[in-house]
Structure 1
Amino acid sequence: MVFALTLEIVAAVLVTWITWRAATGSLARNTLAGVRTRITMSSDAAWRVGHRAALRPTMIAGTITVLWCSLSIVVGSLRTPISVLVATVVLVSGALLSIPVAHRAVRRAAPEEQP
């Protein structure tokens, strides 16, 4: 269980780091990492705006995941498959929530480009 919880921590840090890099412009549009939807991939500006907006829910989910996993590693009674599942749900939920947040931000930033 410690290994699985540690992997969750690594995943949370990686997802947050990738989102931060895209939000700051140090990760260009690509087909491998980031919020890769038709809207966020439509331009470099949309990519950055979307990721800036997605950074907050991603950081919240990532922080909760890291804290939960760390607590689960330290407290023996929490070292269960359920703890790993909880961490996964939190991290994936944050990632999924970041998509509509990113889309709203892109649409607000460029209303003249909307149909």
Structure 2
Amino acid sequence: MFAQDHETDALLREATQWSDAKDWDRAIACLRQANARMKVSPVSYPVQTWLRLPLYLQKAERFDEAMIEFTKLADETGGRIARAFPHQSKAKQQVFAKQELAVIQDKIHLAKEREAKLQAKNKKPALSKPD
């Protein structure tokens, strides 16, 4: 039988509901609680679940916080993989970690592209000074 974590799952569902309502602060609060629980949960959550917090932060136009969360996520990858796959060899864990890091790096790259587009869109043209 697979491990279950109903409380964390409920927080993740609640975050989705708040996201659908565009209430980013509440969605982010739920994800912060869920992430804290996932760190000690008997369930091994996929990287896509862990990526929700930085992605929601970016949607909330909190890019700097999103980058901090992406960095934390990347830094904690080895430990998460070791905890999720203790029965696998260190070499196999490293392969899994590299795969997960590639997914995280891809999301960071996309987030930076989106932020650059948003910044360019929000820049107002300079007003010409009359001569």
TM-score range (shorter-chain normalised) is: 0.3 to 0.5
Higher relative helix content: 1
- Bigger RCO of structures 1 and 2 (CA < 8 A, at least 6 apart): 1
TM-score, with length taken from structure 2:
0.35
- Report the TM-score, using the length of structure 1 for normalisation: 0.39
* Bigger Cα Rg: 2
